[in-house]
Amino acid sequence: MSSINLPLFKPWVPEWLIRTTILLMLLPALGVFALYFSNGAETTGYYGMEPADMQYSVVLMYAALVTFLPIDDRLVKYVKPRPYFLIAVALNTLTCFVCAGTRNLSVFMICRFVQGAVCALFCSICLHMIFSQLRSDRMRVIGYSVFYGTLQVSIPACAFFCSWILHYFEFNHLFYFVILAEIPGLILMLAITNNVRFRKKFPLYQLDWASYILYTILLCIAGYILVYGQQLNWFSSPQLRWLLLIGLASGLLFSLRQFSLKRPLLQLRLFRFAAFRNGLLLLIAYYTFKGTTGHVYAYLQGVLLIDPLNLTPVWTSNIAGVVMGMLVASRLVLNQTDTRWILGCGFLSLLLFHVCMYFLFSRQANTNQFLLPMWIQGFGTGALFVPIVMYVVAAVPATMAGTVSFIGIAARYAGFCGSIAFANYFQLYAKSIHYNKFRESFTGINPMREDVLEQFRQHFLAGGKDMATARQLAEGAAQHLMQEQTGLRASMDYYAWMIIGLSVLITVIVAGPWVKKQVLRPRRVFTPY
């Protein structure tokens, strides 16, 4: 039989084995993507970098994924999936070995960029495999729910996985476990698939590498400015001013090139559709409001001093919420429920999570108090993504729908970087404001200060310390207490702004169409004199 007529999967392969294989193929890419973001303290300690460097390594990988996807869309139509997957596994294995063996920051960042492009290869192959198994009008909804649901749970699942490994092994062993995780998916993929293409071979001509380079420069610079902006005092820094100039020039050249080419890398003409623009704004808002759980994990480990192993119930609760949200949202979308109400309920769940967390920040708490809020956050996160994606796709003509996902993931990248920038602002600026306020009131003339110091001194004296040592330790403990309180106040301010933003967004989503209708109705019935 000709290879053209062969199906992708061999006829003897059961459905459950196909699904298991796709999941095992996707795990290594997701593991590398979430590895550093869920283990920030361990990563910065191993490589000797600052927290902002760790954040930018994640942003750099994300940028590489976003910019390579349009190129990958052409490559996956030309190369057969089996050799293409082998190339992805080889590159991922090589970069993991390099990351495990080096502590050079520049080499590490280069590997992160390569891993981002490799992650695009993994994701595109797995997404094509999922869609190849769904031959109905439900294909898009179910495919997106399965694929993006797996992406959503990758960070808490990877945190759960890494916390157990780091308890018994050194940090660089994480990379070896990622390499081992590639083997089952690779063996099963080669065993159950035929060496055929997803679609008819499409020649690789007019591949727009110039646009790819400009696009990559633009997103990498934008991510750098948003991550390091607060630390470098924004555009008072000459470095950021030059980067902004280069980024604007790259963006302008990229845009002009897309409008002048017959086959552009991205169809920027999509922005003329108002519904598409609104959908991108929803994606940005979604990633801004969902990326706030870092404060929760930092609070649990930094203030409550909970061991990562004991955070397993919290991560499990969040994963369960994501899965439930995806299932409920996909069912509602298939039943053609009004998207406005699905979005309203999803963002309302995120609002409820932020309200709960605002009142939970204190020096005394336990993990059980965070199980329900984290489930609610996961439910809102899972319930929102597929409806937003379907809304964006439906906003443009079917002939132009191919580019929607590439621009949509760029919007998700913008929301992700924006959430990091907003969090860094409160970590540095808002924390310093509260610290100065505490320091002004917590002085020698304040009787409360002496009471606190006396309690600390008595505590250390009871532990066998002499008076001089107890006084020094008491001053240090009071200083630590003040820093802890400023961090809690900064986190509360951060969540307060999130609550305000979500309240406004929910009002616009639910009441916006009604307000628009009431405003436009008088215009339609107005009769001039």
The string of pLDDT tens digits covering residues 150-197 is 667 767 777 777 777 777 777 788 888 888 888 888 888 888 877 777
19-34 in b/e form (b: 16+ CB < 10 A) is eebbebbbbbbbbbbb
Return the biggest CA–CA distance within the chain: 94
For residue 104, how many other CB atoms are within 10 A of its CB? 13
CA distance 93 to 177: 11
Of 102-111, 207-216, 367-376, 473-482, the range with the lowest mean pLDDT is 473-482
Q: Give the count of alpha carbons within 13 A of 187, CB side only.
A: 5
Mean residue pLDDT of the chain comes to 78
Cβ–Cβ under 8 Å, residues 179 and 93: yes
Say if domain 7-206 classifies as CATH 1.20.1250.20. Answer: yes
* The pLDDT of residue 37: 63
242-252 in b/e form (b: 16+ CB < 10 A) is ebbeebeebbe
What mean pLDDT comes out for the span 117-146?
Answer: 70
CA distance 365 to 303: 10
Give 79's DSSP letter: S
The string of pLDDT tens digits covering residues 367-393 is 788 888 889 988 888 888 878 887 877
What mean pLDDT comes out for the span 269-285?
Answer: 83
Give 237's DSSP letter: S
Q: How far is CA 57 from CA 37, 52, 62, 223, 276, in A?
A: 9, 9, 9, 10, 30
Whether residue 89 has pLDDT greater than 80: yes
The string of pLDDT tens digits covering residues 7-52 is 777 788 787 788 788 888 877 777 777 676 666 677 777 777 788 8
Q: Write out the DSSP string of 192-228.
A: HB-S--SSS-----S--HHHHHHHHHHHHHHHHHHHH
For residue 213, how many other CB atoms are within 10 A of its CB? 13
What mean pLDDT comes out for the span 268-279?
Answer: 82
Percentage of the residues of the chain whose pLDDT score is greater than 90: 3
Whether residue 216 has pLDDT greater than 60: yes
Which of the four pLDDT bands, split at 50, 70 and 90, describes residue 252?
Answer: very high
Domain range list for the chain: 7-206, 209-264, 431-511
CA distance 391 to 277: 11
What mean pLDDT comes out for the span 329-350?
Answer: 83
CA distance 413 to 287: 8
